[in-house]
Amino acid sequence: MGVSKDLPLLDVIINKAISKVSPVEIEALNKKWLKTKETILFTEEELDFIKNKTVNLAFYDKWAPIIFSENGKEYGLAFDFWQYIADKANLKTNFIVKNNFDDVLKSIEEKSSDIIIATSKSPEKEKYAIFSDIYYKSPIGIATLQDKNYIPDASHLIGKKIGVGKNYSAHKILKEKYPTMDFVFIKNIEEGLEFLSANKIYALVDTMPILTYNIQKYAYSNIKISGTTGVDIDLRMMIRDDYKVLQSITDKVLQTMSPSDKNQIYNKWLKFEYSEAYDYTFLWKYFLPLVLIIFIISYKNRQLLSYQKELKTAKNDLENTLKTFRSLVNLTIEGIIIISDNKIIYSNDEIFKIFKITKKDIQNNSFYNLFGKNNSISIHEIIQNTDTQTYELIGLKNFETKFPILVKSKKVIFENQPSTILSIIDMSEIKNKENLLIQQSKMASMGEMIGNIAHQWRQPLSLISTAASGMKIQKEFDQLDDKTFNDTLDSITNTTLFLSQTIEDFQNYLKEDKEKKEFDINSSIKKILNIIKGSFTKYDIKVNLDLEEDLIINSYENELNQAILNILNNAKDALIGFDNQEKYINIKSYKTTNGIVIEIIDNAGGIKEENLSKVFEPYFTTKHKSQGTGLGLYMTHKIITSSMKGKIEITNTQNKFNNKLFNKCAKVKIALPFS
């Protein structure tokens, strides 16, 4: 400032005033008018990186509130810091979600990703990565059940099972400091809290914000923060080691962040206050017992007030959770019933739609009246078992009309009393679609069946035609004697009977009857072989039978016939592609203590391992679209497991055919109960 020489006193006053301006005030003026802190000078190399590179950011989204995602959107303290950096530096970002934190680290090591925005520095990571400046420092906290005492540091955890994320920063830091600590590795914080709540671990360690946020989020009223480990995590951004220019850009932006910018992010995500207990050993040793007693009373009183406040908060959270639960179950397409002492204490709106009843109907009728009496397992048994299996039962709409349902049960505590929750799904529409699939499958195989019959009829019809024309010629030349005449007629008659039997077998296959009856397994096998014998002969496929006698079951014969036909047709289609190899199918049947087993093995090279788990899926096929619908084995599986209550499995195996060992064979094993 320029001052007139005639006013020396003013010069003194101004200088005194300037000397009283603090550095903070000067910085505030600079920031307000000159914006020196917001101007970041990037080098040519950095500007080139910013212009031409997209930063691949890898993260594991189960670490709220530091880093997580919901509905495809990224959230958390670390993301806000990165967004600040990306905005200031005009960086382009591509987000990559990984299944676990190990995969995140591996992506940096393999350089398929460029940066991790929430981790700490360690010698092991420094072998393949570089790190930004620290942007957040957090203590590693200790969570325990409510009945555990205060834990002053991590040394008190030695000898106990401690839950921690494998290769997380907390794990690495504590392992280095306490190598004998007994760690139990968890997939994520949610699993860790489940383990702790179920008393599978003594304590769970992670950063304080992570523990506090998730205990509150999942409403674990039996879990508390019992102390800290005495170790802090310095959160940094981890960058692949060949991207030093990205490290430079990141640090430049972090260094220009004002305290208010950082606090704005901290306050958004870290809305929790932590208080550490003090070591009162000094007080015990040097102050009078009376002072100690007064302190304890005061401390307990304050603790009691804190507990009362926490209980009130927990109560509100519980009430809100219950409201949310009721809203959620009313939005599901499943019917939900909660039962206690054989009485319905809660049901959602979908139950009334499924069973076509009202709340008044439930009040005036027994719960068990909603279910039919001819189920293989009763609803009472399902409630008693609560084995989380799914059962197919018969329900009664309006207590009268039968319809198929799926039921699953689980024991819960609802409104402070032991209860059972039942999940019920109406299967009517699904069953209708399933019946359509059955008909579609049967129609698909009918065309092939008709082709088989046509092929099988050609030779007998040719025989009849040849015999008839031969007799006519012999008659014209007066060479037809009685023996030749009778033998020829017998041959025609036998051939006609064969054709008639083929038609009868085909008619039996087309029958839609669904009645159980006793029948011989071997008879079914031979009937199907009789139908497709011509097709097998055409392609030179040899069938070896090893059938144990007297294999009688009480079940659905036509459905088993369809299942066997589907399997044999599949085997035939597979064998057709092997021109330079002998083609065999072995069929074996035998009795066990539980029922009857049918094994069908072909030497067509087996099934690819990746397809073994898919062969029973609808519309899955390895054939060309013109050759298969993908329904044959699906319907075969439905017939064996649902209709006949049996089991079916397909495996690859070795097998001998005509004393020659084939290494790649497909084996279909069907196990059926006697009734």
Q: pLDDT per residue over 12-49, tens digit each?
A: 899 999 988 887 788 778 766 765 445 788 999 999 99
Provide the pLDDT for residue 281: 47
To which H or E segment does residue 182 belong? Answer: strand 182-186
Is residue 274 predicted with pLDDT exceeding 50? no
Provide the pLDDT for residue 273: 41
Cβ-Cβ contacts under 8 Å for 411 (sequence gap 6 or more) = 386, 418, 419, 420, 421
pTM of the model: 0.37
Q: What's the CA gap between 382 and 76, in Å, rounded?
A: 44
Provide the pLDDT for residue 508: 57
For the record, the structure tokens of 151 come out as 């834990």
Is residue 331 predicted with pLDDT exceeding 90? no
Q: pLDDT per residue over 375-423, tens digit each?
A: 667 777 777 776 667 777 888 888 888 888 888 888 888 777 888 888 8
For residue 397, give the nearest of 351, 429, 433, 431 by alpha carbon: 351
Confidence of residue 107 (pLDDT cuts 50, 70, 90): very high
**CA angle 259-265-268, nearest 5°?**
135
Q: pLDDT per residue over 187-227, tens digit each?
A: 888 898 999 999 999 999 988 888 888 888 888 889 998 88
Strands 161-165 and 391-397: unpaired
Most confident of 149-153, 337-341, 467-471: 149-153
Provide the pLDDT for residue 106: 93
Confidence of residue 161 (pLDDT cuts 50, 70, 90): very high
Confidence of residue 57 (pLDDT cuts 50, 70, 90): very high
Mean local confidence (pLDDT), 359-367: 72
Residues of 45-83 as b/e, b for ≥16 C-beta within 10 angstroms?
A: ebeebbeeeebbbbbbbbbbbbbbbeeeebbbbbbbbbe
The strand ranges marked E within 13-153 are: 54-59, 62-63, 67-70, 73-75, 92-97, 115-119, 129-131, 136-145
Q: What's the CA gap between 164 and 174, in Å, rounded?
A: 10
Report the percent of the chain where pLDDT is more than 70: 81
Confidence of residue 595 (pLDDT cuts 50, 70, 90): very high
Confidence of residue 495 (pLDDT cuts 50, 70, 90): low
Is residue 297 predicted with pLDDT exceeding 50? yes
* Single-letter code of the amino acid located at 104: V
Task: Give the phi and the psi of residue 603 in degrees, each rounded to 5.
Answer: -105, 45
**CA angle 347-351-355, nearest 5°?**
140
Confidence of residue 668 (pLDDT cuts 50, 70, 90): very high
Is residue 604 predicted with pLDDT exceeding 60? yes
Contact (Cβ atoms closer than 8 angstroms) between residue 140 and residue 233: yes
Among 86-95, 463-472, 499-508, name the one with the lowest average pLDDT.
499-508
